Amino acid sequence: MRAFKRLSTGGTLLAWKSKWRSQPGKSPLSSSNTKVCVVGSGPAGFYTAQHLLKARQDVEVDIYERLPVPFGLVRFGVAPDHPEVKNVINSFTQTAKHARCHFYGNVNIGKDVSVEELRQAYHAVILSYGAEGNRTMGIPGEDLPGVYSAKDFVGWYNGLPSCRDLNPDLSPETAVILGQGNVALDVARILLSPIDILKKTDITQAALEALMESKVRRVLIVGRRGPMQVACTIKELREMVKLPATRPEMLQADFVGVSEALSDLPRPRKRLTELMLKSATELSTDEERERSHQNWRSWGFRFFRSPVQIRPNSDGSRVEAVRLAVNRLEGSGEAARAVLTGELEDVTCGLVVSSIGYKSLPIDPAVPFDPDKAIVPNQMGRVHQAPGLYCSGWLKTGPTGVIATTMNNSFDTAKSLIEDMDSGHLDTSAAKSGAESITDLLAKRGVKRVTFPDWEKIDDLERRKGEAMGKPREKMLTVEAMLQVARTEKV
Ligand code: FAD
Ligand code: NAP
């Protein structure tokens, strides 16, 4: 039935042209396959592709990625001292090497190729391009020198090419991080970790050298709500508590009534709160007692505080303090709301990192985008009023959730697409040109795509450079350097 439909729709020339598209190490592909492309090669892109390839033998998936290197936030977000998290790269690599999967890096969708052009070339297009912007606080002084977004700060220590020149000023003694999620804790940990720990990770050499010279000794992590609403998770808090040569510095006043409320909390929240309470109120072991008397670096949460202004120094050249509005909570539990009390306080600091969340951005005016929620409006991954267009990952849900959460929401999108194939809602009757016409377009536009074997040359060189320095890898910091290696025959 399928084959008959295909012949009858007369896509014979395209079908003939794309009949045996192949790449080194890949089997020839069938022209009758359903051609799907994914935009973005982070966890969402790879997990969506993985599910489709596994569930259907008649689907081919091409993955387009803006950068010459794959894996999104697994490479540019996950903290360098969390190497175990990056093991997902192994399964993503298997997907990329699947006979029915192709990776095209260095292709900026929305700029080099439009989403409409992809929709012409593929039966289905899945947008999985993540959340590359950051939420802003909208307060005076946010743009002062010395104030950085966590997105840029993380990108800087993780070698994101666009953040290479950030050069954050680490000369101040006190840093304030605004927001209390896991990204805030990553930043705090990187600022305070002993260099001996960091130098064995894949943190960039430039960041390592800057951190070696860092004068930051105290990190305050500020949240607008209370200890029972903190957004970080227990593993990340435990890492802070155990960080060598540092001590927690909390305000006991922030914990009034918390121990009484513990028994009513759900178990994960209860354990997290107990650990926080313990580090705030007890110096239980000899070692902790000793730590408190030494001149070690310190970190602490500051609760019930909303940033209202970043204050400049006298000549206006950089940040000198953060003005915080003191809050009280209305309601209880996760849903409790911060309400201003009218009281203000200033915290003197020379470094501010705003870590209040990432944000997806529109990449193509032809794609529906909800500016308030900063997501592509969708139902179970089906983009509203755009048949054949799907989304997954942070673009679908907003910028929350760990890799496992992203995996599940990406599998759900793949399931929606398969349901639509089975029900006929996704029209797969006409043959589609897939990558063939897109690579023609790219060639005409002078865009040099990077294949997965090209990435493997970059990967190999980075690992060898790292090995020579006692690190798992030393990342390349510019797109140009990456492309140069991708173009070489042998490295
Ligand atoms: P991304 O990972 O952002 O992938 C999007 C991809 O799309 C990127 O490769 C990007 O280059 C590409 N892209 C963007 N625009 C275009 C375009 N126009 N054309 C083509 N390609 C494009 N989770 C954990 O489980 N453990 C952790 O330790 C952990 N640490 C984290 C640390 C940080 C700082 C952050 C921000 C998140 C962390 N997470 C962690 C969460 C995890 O990274 C996310 O759940 C996951 O990466 C979201 O996947 P995604 O594919 O939607 O987005
Ligand atoms: P997040 O978990 O959503 O935390 C955002 C923080 O910013 C919260 O404390 C939030 O407070 C605060 N905030 C938001 N808007 C604010 C405003 N206008 N003013 C003041 N504070 C504001 O986001 P994230 O830290 O960027 O992390 C994103 C996701 O990645 C999370 O799901 C996280 O778990 C995951 N991640 C995981 C790891 C890991 O597993 N190790 C590491 C990094 C990131 P409220 O709670 O009051 O809104």
What per-residue confidence (pLDDT) applies to 174? 98
Work out the average pLDDT over 285-299.
69
CB under 8 Å, gap of 24 or more: what pairs does 376-385 form? Answer: 376/127, 380/412, 380/413, 380/415, 380/416, 381/126, 381/409, 381/412, 381/413, 381/414, 381/416, 381/417, 382/416, 382/420, 383/127
Count of other CB atoms within 10 angstroms of residue 408: 10
**In which band, very low, low, confident or very high, does the pLDDT at 79 lie, cut at 50, 70 and 90?**
very high
Nearest Cα residue to atom 36 of ligand 2: 182
In DSSP notation, 453-491 reads HHHHHHHHHHHHHHHHTTSS------HHHHHHHHH-S--
Identify the residue with better confidence: 219 or 285.
Answer: 219
pLDDT greater than 60 at residue 286 = no
- On the CB side of 452, how many CA atoms lie within 13 Å of its CA? 21
What per-residue confidence (pLDDT) applies to 15? 38
What per-residue confidence (pLDDT) applies to 16? 33
pLDDT greater than 90 at residue 27 = no
- Atom number of ligand 1 nearest to Cα 394: 52
* Residue 360 near ligand 2, beta carbon < 6 Å: no
Burial of residue 379 (CB within 10 Å: 0-12, 13-18, 19+) is: exposed
pLDDT greater than 60 at residue 3 = no
Q: Find all residues with CB under 8 Å of 149, minimum gap 6, and list them.
A: 134, 136, 353, 354, 355
Provide the strand spans (E) within 101-235.
Answer: 101-104, 124-127, 133-134, 147-149, 174-178, 218-222
Percent of the chain with pLDDT over 90: 88
Work out the average pLDDT over 25-33.
68
What per-residue confidence (pLDDT) applies to 296? 87
Could you say which ligand is closest to the alpha carbon of residue 375?
Answer: 1
Work out the average pLDDT over 175-181.
98
- 185 Cα–ligand 2 center, Å: 10
What per-residue confidence (pLDDT) applies to 392? 98
Substitution site in 81, 135, 152, 224 for ligand 2 pocket (most atoms within 8 Å of beta carbon):
224
What per-residue confidence (pLDDT) applies to 17? 35
What per-residue confidence (pLDDT) applies to 5? 33
Nearest Cα residue to atom 43 of ligand 1: 73
Dig out the tokens for 207 from the structure: 């960041």
pLDDT greater than 50 at residue 1 = no
Nearest to 145 by CA among 328, 316, 396: 316
pLDDT greater than 90 at residue 290 = no
Work out the average pLDDT over 377-396.
97
- Atom number of ligand 2 nearest to Cα 77: 43
* Residue 184 near ligand 2, beta carbon < 6 Å: yes
pLDDT tens-digit profile of 109-136?
999 999 999 999 999 999 999 999 999 9
What per-residue confidence (pLDDT) applies to 292? 60
- 399 Cα–ligand 2 center, Å: 9
- 151 Cα–ligand 2 center, Å: 12
* Type of residue found at 188: A
pLDDT tens-digit profile of 149-175?
999 999 999 999 999 999 999 999 999
- 40 Cα–ligand 1 center, Å: 9
Percent of the chain with pLDDT over 70: 91
Q: Is 298:247 a contact under the CB 8 Å cutoff?
A: yes
Substitution site in 183, 304, 339 for ligand 2 pocket (most atoms within 8 Å of beta carbon):
183
- In whole angstroms, what is the distance from residue 150 CA to residue 168 CA? 11
Nearest Cα residue to atom 24 of ligand 1: 402
- In whole angstroms, what is the distance from residue 488 CA to residue 483 CA? 9
* Residue 112 near ligand 2, beta carbon < 6 Å: no
pLDDT tens-digit profile of 404-434?
999 999 999 999 999 999 999 999 999 999 9
Domains observed in the chain: 2-10+32-132+360-450 (3.40.50.720), 134-355 (3.50.50.60)
Nearest Cα residue to atom 1 of ligand 2: 181
Q: Where are the alpha helices (DSSP H) in 147-204?
A: 150-157, 182-192, 195-198
What per-residue confidence (pLDDT) applies to 435? 96
What per-residue confidence (pLDDT) applies to 32? 76
pLDDT greater than 50 at residue 251 = yes
Q: Three-state SS for 324?
A: strand
* Residue 239 near ligand 2, beta carbon < 6 Å: no
Distance of CA 424 to the CA centre of its chain: 34
Q: Is 113:441 a contact under the CB 8 Å cutoff?
A: yes
pLDDT greater than 60 at residue 214 = yes
**In which band, very low, low, confident or very high, does the pLDDT at 281 lie, cut at 50, 70 and 90?**
confident
Mean model confidence pLDDT for the chain: 92
Ligand 1: residues whose CB is within 6 Å? 39-45, 64-67, 72-73, 77-78, 82, 85, 108-110, 128-130, 132, 154, 183, 186, 358, 363, 393-394, 401-403, 406
pLDDT tens-digit profile of 322-345?
999 999 999 988 999 999 999 999
What's the farthest any 2 CA atoms get from each other in the chain?
A: 82
Nearest Cα residue to atom 10 of ligand 2: 179
- In whole angstroms, what is the distance from residue 389 CA to residue 366 CA? 11
Q: What is the DSSP letter of 124?
A: E
Substitution site in 73, 182, 238, 340 for ligand 2 pocket (most atoms within 8 Å of beta carbon):
182
What per-residue confidence (pLDDT) applies to 36? 98
